[in-house]
Structure 1
Amino acid sequence: MGHSVGEVLHQNGLRVITCLEGRSQRTRELSEKAGIKDVESFSNFVNEADLILSIMVPAHASQAAQTICDALLQTDTTLAYADCNAIAPQTVRKIGEKIDAAGATFIDASIIGPPPRTPGRTRFYVSGINLDPFITLNNYGLDVRPLGEEVGLASAIKMCYASLTKGLTALCTELLTAAEKLGVSDALSTEFKLSQSALYERMENGLPSMPPKARRWIGEMEEISATFEYVGLTPHILAGAADIYRLVSDTHLADLSPEERDKFPSLTELVGVLAKQTDNN
């Protein structure tokens, strides 16, 4: 997602930079292809940037913010920092406190939709006291929608939305695997085609591309679980979704990169792999 956002901003006339210290070769190649310039250190990064968009695996969001805080405390600069990751409102507030203490402007942000390659399909929700640095990106290819001054609102809408989309993906994955192990896979598929044709089509089209994303979705499901528990609801539904993504992550299919679409399994092949994997757990 991050390199796609950067590519859109670059194509619309902005200079986009990053610091790839410690990042993988794949990330370096994607950044170069997107026109994102790598700077040598985080000190240079914070000195050159006006607005930082943190877009990464949810589990790494807090450490990434701390790295920026450390760099800010060593320099005499000001900037805005937007956490765009799929994390709980209470998590983003803690990150915001760190960023504020380091002297930067904090923006709570979330992304709903696919990478923003096609106009009109992706929304960036934002909340916080000073949203102007992010709202300006409406002029550079993004669809930015403010929710208010309270930090946590942007993250909250992402948590609720993703509980449906990725939570449903996990549920579909689990029930199809169960049907396979129970010997009713063909009969269930036939029934779905008769009575749930739209949902089954979604399963066929969407589930085979899920395994490369499963490992980073574990943390997102845990953040949603924590969000729901925070407001007095059961955390167990989305904690179960995290367990399903752990199951997928233990298979060889999770080692595929999103670019290796020609190697993605069919729905039948995916379910078969997962059914066998449960025997190993």
Structure 2
Amino acid sequence: MSTDLSIGLIGYGEVGRILAEDLRVQGVRVAACDIKLGGPAGGDLLGHAARFGVELVSGHAALAARSGLVISAVTASQAVPVAEACTPGLREGTWFLDFNSASPGAKARAAALVNGAGGRFVEGAVMTSVPPYRIKVPLLLGGPHAAALEPLLNRLGFAARVASDRLGIASATKMCRSVMIKGLEAMVIESFTAARAHGVEDAVIASLEETFPGLEWEKLGAYFFQRVIQHGRRRAEEVREAAETVREAGLDPFSAAGTALRQAWVADLADDGVFGSKSSAGFARSGDWRVEADRILAALKHKEQP
């Protein structure tokens, strides 16, 4: 599919690069902006952009000024700052799709900035992990401009549907789901690692399989350890936004707050090299969660040494 629409991606991480690849295959013009361009990871971004014909732009406002559709795909805490940084460059009627895992309140603040500058803000809630589905990941849209953007996105290959014309509904759906999904990841890591330390992991898994016979706990364990080790920092930010969503409902986010701490804790271990190099073929892909649990336990034992 060829189109005259120029798309600007803010955030050229895993999600941004996947979207860029799938859009470029269709002949869509894509430019991107990422704060890592000037840092150690900048070389990888430059190489990827060169391979797929993506133009890299140094500033948010400059990218917004040249784009008919801006897609913000950054870490959750940056959703509002990115919207603010784009506003000086937004042209009247420019679409702004907020792809970030942020709370309804954060989406509302970003929308006020974008719409106030003449843009058309649409919240996007990505309902599962992007890599298996790529551009066709299930995507809920929200806000008064969502219905108008939906057909354009689907022509580009997205699997988008409008959740509501009221801003915040799509994000609340995503965030409340994240309390459960990210919480389950954190609980599995905590439970399985503790069980491994006590030598009762086989008995625990056998009991779980008896109680929940439809779930393959060995495979879930391997998958959850892998995802949190690799993306714990980003997941921790998302769950902080989920906790904020719970607060916005008037509840204290006891579970979500604890999940964010555990996800960030695993991310700290990964940054310390406990799980090996991220470029290593074996990084968090052992196929056996026990390998990763043993690395965690060894790291904790090492810290206890005088």
Give ranges in structure 1 of 5+ residues lacking alignment. none
- The answer to whether 1:115 aligns with 2:130 is yes
- 1:195-210 correspondence runs (5 A): 196=212, 198-200=215-217, 201-210=219-228
- The answer to whether 1:85 aligns with 2:100 is yes
**Identity score, percent:** 21
Structure-1 residue corresponding to 2:297: 275
Letter in 2 for 1:269: V
Deviations 1:85-113 (A, max 9, x none): 00110111111111122221111111122
Are 2:186 and 2:263, in contact at CA under 8 Å, matched by a contact in 1?
A: yes
Instruction: Measure the CA separation in 1 of the matches of 2:236 and 2:275.
Output: 12
- The answer to whether 1:159 aligns with 2:159 is no
Choose the corresponding residue for 1:95, options 86, 95, 110: 110
Larger relative contact order, structure 1 or 2 (CA cutoff 8 Å, min sep 6): 1
- The answer to whether 1:4 aligns with 2:18 is yes
Deviations 1:220-266 (A, max 9, x none): 11111111121123301011111111221121257754x75532243
- 1:127-166 correspondence runs (5 A): 127-131=142-146, 132-166=148-182
- 1:1-281 correspondence runs (5 A): 1-20=15-34, 22-23=36-37, 24-25=41-42, 26-72=44-90, 78-115=93-130, 118=133, 122-131=137-146, 132-192=148-208, 196=212, 198-200=215-217, 201-251=219-269, 252-253=273-274, 256-257=277-278, 260-264=280-284, 265=286, 266-278=288-300, 280=303
Point out the more displaced range, 164-173 or 125-134.
Answer: 125-134
Point out the more displaced range, 167-176 or 15-24.
Answer: 15-24
Instruction: Measure the CA separation in 2 of the matches of 1:109 and 1:234.
Output: 25
> Following TM superposition, by how much is the alpha carbon of 1:22 offset from its aligned partner in structure 2, in angstroms?
4.4
Are 2:195 and 2:201, in contact at CA under 8 Å, matched by a contact in 1?
A: yes
Instruction: Measure the CA separation in 2 of the matches of 1:52 and 1:13.
Output: 17
Task: Summarize the Cα distance change of 1:27–1:64 in structure 2 as closer, same or farther, 3 Å threshold.
Answer: farther
Q: CA RMSD in A?
A: 2.6
Q: TM-score, normalised by structure 1?
A: 0.86
Q: TM-score, normalised by structure 2?
A: 0.80
Instruction: Measure the CA separation in 1 of the matches of 2:80 and 2:193.
Output: 34
Deviations 1:153-195 (A, max 9, x none): 1211111222222221111111112223334234323444555
Instruction: Measure the CA separation in 1 of the matches of 2:135 and 2:117.
Output: 35
